[in-house]
Amino acid sequence: MIPLLRFCFIIVLLFSRLGFAQTTPNTPAIPTQIPGHDAILVGTDWYPEQWPESRWEEDLRLMETANLKAVRIAEFAWSRMEPSEGHYDFDWLERAISLAAKHHIVSVVGTPTGGPPAWLTQEHPETLRIDEAGHRAVHGNRAHGSVNSPVYRNYCRKIAEAMAVRFGHNPDVVGWQIDNEYGYAWMSFDDFTRKQFQGWLQSKYKTLDNLNRQWTTTYWSQTYNRWDQIPIPVGDSNNPGLVLEWRRLVTDIWNDYQKNQINVIRAHADTRQFITGNFMGFFDGFDHYKMSEPLTFAAWDDYVGSGHLDPTSNGLTHDLTRGFKRSNFWVIETQPGAVNWAGVNNFLNKGEVRAMAWQAIAHGADDVSYWQWRSALNGQEEYHGTLIGADGTPAPLYSEVAQIGREFSSVQDAFRGTTVVSDVALLNSYDSRWAIDFQKHTGKYDQVELLKSYYAALRKLTDSVDVISPYAPLDRYKLVVAPDLNVLPKDLADHLLEYAHNGGCLVLGPRSGMKDDANGLLPQRQPGYLVDALGGRVEQYYALEKDFPVSGTWGSGEVKIWAEQMKAGAPNTEVLMKYGPSNGWLDDQPAAITSPYGKGRITYIGAVLDDKLMAAAGEWMVKNSNVTRTSITVPDGVEVSRRTGGGKQVFLLINFTREDRSVSLPHSMKLLLAQKEGSKVTLPPYGVEVLTEGR
């Protein structure tokens, strides 16, 4: 037995050193860390096709000096790789990848389908998008191809396949990015897409009688007698069922578009090479949970634009991206100080870029890459921030990014095989976002801001919060919060009821449980199929002209924008908050109620609460769900995060203020960046520290 145990130990140790995560049923696998390479990487986006080959060596030397470990390459080089139809030139790209490897830099190859070459669009004008007004796009920008065009898809597949054949087994290529910023341009409103939509609806609804019934098309005499009568929704006045189904089709179209390339890459590439795409945070052009399914892991482009970093918003978006596949992710583009597309393209403060990079790692990123290395000397993005100037020498920010690179390299062992594990989940439903945004009822209603208010209250009390699909497995969470789950069909209601019945604490926010799967009103009052379990319901909803007072278990304050008149309908239902004098209808009526259900609890908050009340509600939620609170208390402006895995914990402290902050630790810990042990951390403006347990 002893030799066998020793052999098993050696195998486990080997896998650990290679970077494979040790997993438990509650800890997802970590596919984003590259075996044999650093666990957390700093990278940049490099466009060697824009520069003489004699320049490449110096670029890569400067990257290596700054501890940059990865480049994304080729995602806009279609005209260089295929200068004319069927004539490929990949030799230059192979030389660039090989030269990067010489400088210990791995390559992520992007498929170039976000920028089709002129020979394609001129020979096949049908591949160009048509906008809602019927105008065809012209060549010279990006994302002007129609992702739904069979002709365009065929050319996209062919270039992706040719690249995969050439680089699918290249040892210096670690992964692929499909296209660039999916959904940057909207669908093509052409006859082919309209007929596809009609066929898609026929496949789903089977009969027109069924579609007409679910969409209530008798309203305004919308009844359809033939499938080809159904339009693509354009403008603001459309049947809600038509609008929601169109958004779902758009998701399917984009997913098929990326699979068209993924399938041919997978057929020719090593399994070790990952495949990802660069998403855009809270962009809602499609359902990101479905779009992420065929990807190895999710990635996103993290930009501030005007102003300065809002750590709550940015942290929320990191957690959203981590939730797409419930695993670690990459920040595959981020802001090198300034952008060129915002209202005011100010530069981030000294140290702010570093704090921003470490926050990404704290929330589960394993790579932070800067867009871009150096600007092209002409083109639409000449003024965008870079790491080196147009003259090829380092920009002032280069030294800060080099510091990030040194720090990432110095703490690899702490982060290898770690991920973020949360007790709390926020539910994010694209169906509900689309449904509410189409019929806001008040222009002030902002779903992302509502989600952020819940997130801010809960994130302060815990080390992490997951943002996930309502259909994701929920059993691992002690607390699940759905801020405005507007579309709540029976199968989803049953999923949530099972979670609560088995001991989970479910909290619903305003506008929950109003709509069915076809974006029609449920015949029950809110929250629909959850009324009986809640032991209460919504009597009426109100868009507010002004703030109204509210008081109760969470103290006194005000509600704003939206309020719902609740009714407690069961003996064990507790009224948590009541409205004060308001519009007469809401006076002294319940604003929030809660009830035990099975081994758990269901709570409904029927209004948008002010920040003070939201913080108190968060305290109540955490206490009543037995969520583990953060073990390190931090002052305002400082964020604490935790990553775990392989039997270890690593904490990150980040000071997002421009003043010194001090943090007292519960006991002496190792301060990895300061290279000492202690029980107190002093953080300068935008300061960072990485903590592990001391010996």
Catalytic sites, residue numbers? 181, 333
Which of 55, 44, 47 has the alpha carbon at shortest distance from 391? 55
Cα end-to-end span (Å), the chain? 31
Please, where are the H alpha helices in 223-287?
240-268
The residue type at 548 = F
Distance CA 290, CA 131 (A): 25
Biggest CA–CA distance in the chain, Å, is 80
CA 684, chain centre distance (Å): 30
Query: How many whole angstroms from its chain centre is CA 137?
Result: 29
Work out whether the CA dihedral 506, 510, 514, 519 comes out positive or negative: negative
* Torsional sign, CA 99, 101, 105, 106: positive
d(CA 482, CA 88): 50
CA atoms 46, 49, 50, 53: torsion sign:
positive
User: What count of Cα atoms within 13 Å lies in the side-chain half-sphere of residue 390?
Assistant: 7
Structure tokens at 279: 């998403």
CB 392 within 8 A of CB 374: yes
DSSP state letter for 228: G
**In which order are the strands placed within the sheet that holds 648-655?**
638-645, 648-655, 688-693, 661-671, 676-683
Q: From CA 310, how far away is CA 312, in angstroms rounded?
A: 6
Q: How many CB atoms lie within 10 A of CB 393?
A: 10
Inter-residue contact 181 to 258 (CB < 8 Å): no
What is the 8-class DSSP label of residue 502?
T
Q: How far is CA 319 from CA 326, 421, 422, 428, in A?
A: 9, 11, 10, 11
In angstroms, rounded to a whole number, what is the distance separating the alpha carbons of residues 263 and 157?
9
How far apart (Å, rounded) are the C-alpha atoms in residues 74 and 408? 26
CB environment 146-173: b (16+ within 10 A), e (fewer): bbbbebbbebbbebbbbbbbbbbebeeb
